[in-house]
């Protein structure tokens, strides 16, 4: 069945500048024309096409905030959020690949890297190399700082031993930010961030997970067995890894909010189009008030999520506090994504439950939004803490 897609209720003109609107539309056109035809194949094969990744570099969206002196676009965090939303409204796997690259890996190096590290790694990340961010382990998920991976200072180099799990982009990445504890006696204050290249001795990308959703996005384990890391590859300074992780993840959560916003929007666009074509009892199901009310509520929830995500991104760019707003944006947008994608399946009826139609994939992709980069319960804990220690 061929369906003509109409955009769901769009971004308010008062939110975006004319330049931002043009940028958003260019990424949207790219996603629809270049990514959408490949989505079923990539989802089935659970593989991201290499030529598509190369097109991300050519489009300039793998180094959005990277200064132009290192080959980046020298743009804003807000524009990175727009990119993640637009890619995710077609395919969440593409959205999260670009999201991790920009909001986690690049951001961490921009903020914490020295000039040599920025010159070497940002220039690669902006133009040709995929990056990954390795914090999670089997015993440290929500308790992110219960790291078992250890780093030992050998004088002119470090040696790392341990295992990382659930690392997004790991199959494609060639540059990794890896967190290890260099001083376990100091607890979380011993955690240190390291810049590791894929071909470093003792470093290996392990098993790739077979996932429910975002299947084209790789999620793998990392194995470090006496991994030798040059002394100059400490990011920031020894013992500051916990601070790097916290601050970077706070920004990354806005990116996940944008991803979930895109997922919900993509599903709703298909559902609206379908209700205008599907006929029952001699009329379009879009003409039934019960259906109209469900779509109206979904569009309202989607708009609320959009404004929360955009607001958090604007605050980040303005250098203002955004911890609570980022947590709220991720929490709410992930809830909206699961709710709207489920509704979209319902509006398709039996067809929605089959892989012949696109909405079941949006639903599968939505679930991870409540899990990675801080579960919904962790976002609630953050929100509650900030409310109880501050005024609304």
- The DSSP-derived string for 25-87 is HHHHHHIIIIIGGGHHHHHHHT---HHHHHHHHHHT-SSSSS-GGGTS----HHHHHHHHHHH
Residue 391 has a pLDDT of 62
Look at strands 203-208 and 191-197 and give their pairing.
Answer: unpaired
Average pLDDT along the chain, 392 residues, taken 10 residues at a time = 47 72 96 98 98 98 98 97 98 98 98 97 98 95 88 97 98 98 95 98 97 98 98 96 95 97 98 97 97 98 97 96 97 98 98 97 98 96 92 60
Q: Which residues of the chain form CATH 1.20.140.10?
A: 243-388
Any idea which residues carry the catalytic annotation?
373
Using a 10 angstrom Cβ sphere, with 0-12 exposed, 13-18 middle and 19 or more buried, the burial of residue 1 is exposed
pTM for the predicted model, two decimal places: 0.94
Instruction: Classify domain 243-388 at the CATH class level.
Output: mainly alpha
Give pLDDT, residue 169.
98
CATH 2.40.110.10 positions along the chain are 132-239
Superfamily (CATH H level) for 18-130: Acyl-CoA dehydrogenase/oxidase, N-terminal domain (1.10.540.10)
pLDDT the model gives residue 392: 58
Contact 227, 157 (CB under 8 A): no
- pLDDT for 11 equals 47
Domain 132-239 is classified in which CATH homologous superfamily? Answer: Butyryl-CoA Dehydrogenase, subunit A, domain 2 (2.40.110.10)
């Amino acid at each position: 069945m061929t369906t003509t897609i109409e955009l769901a209720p769009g971004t308010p003109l008062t939110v975006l500048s004319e330049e931002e609107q043009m940028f958003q539309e260019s990424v949207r056109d790219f996603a629809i024309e270049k990514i959408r035809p490949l989505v079923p194949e990539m989802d089935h094969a659970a593989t991201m096409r290499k030529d598509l990744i190369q097109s991300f570099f050519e489009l300039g969206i793998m180094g959005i905030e990277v200064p132009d002196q290192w080959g980046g676009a020298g743009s804003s965090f807000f524009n990175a959020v727009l990119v993640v939303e637009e890619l995710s409204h077609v395919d969440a796997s593409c959205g999260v690949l670009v999201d991790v690259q920009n909001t986690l890996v690049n951001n961490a190096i921009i903020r914490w890297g020295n000039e040599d590290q920025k010159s070497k790694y940002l220039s690669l990340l902006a133009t040709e190399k995929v990056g990954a961010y390795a914090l999670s382990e089997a015993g440290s998920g929500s308790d992110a700082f219960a790291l078992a991976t250890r780093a030992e200072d050998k004088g002119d180099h470090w040696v790392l031993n341990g295992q990382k799990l659930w690392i997004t982009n790991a199959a494609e990445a060639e540059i990794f930010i890896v967190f290890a504890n260099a001083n376990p006696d100091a607890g979380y204050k011993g955690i240190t961030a390291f810049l590791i290249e894929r071909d470093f001795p003792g470093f290996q990308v392990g098993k790739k997970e077979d996932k429910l959703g975002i299947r084209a996005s790789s999620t793998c384990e990392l194995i470090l067995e006496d991994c030798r890391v040059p002394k100059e590859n400490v990011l920031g300074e020894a013992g500051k890894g916990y601070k790097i992780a916290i601050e970077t993840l706070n920004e990354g959560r806005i990116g996940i909010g944008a991803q979930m916003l895109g997922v919900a929007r993509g599903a709703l666009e298909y559902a609206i189009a379908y209700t205008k074509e599907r006929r029952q009892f001699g009329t379009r199901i879009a003409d039934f008030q019960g259906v109209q009310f469900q779509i109206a509520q979904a569009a309202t929830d989607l708009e609320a999520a959009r404004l929360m995500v955009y607001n958090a991104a604007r605050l980040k760019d303005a250098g203002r506090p955004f911890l609570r707003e980022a947590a709220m944006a991720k929490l709410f947008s992930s809830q909206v994504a699961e709710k709207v994608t489920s509704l979209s399946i319902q509006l398709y009826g039996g067809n929605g439950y089959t892989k012949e139609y696109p909405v079941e994939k949006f639903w599968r992709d939505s679930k991870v939004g409540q899990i990675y980069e801080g579960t919904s319960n962790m976002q609630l804990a953050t929100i509650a803490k900030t409310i109880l220690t501050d005024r609304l």
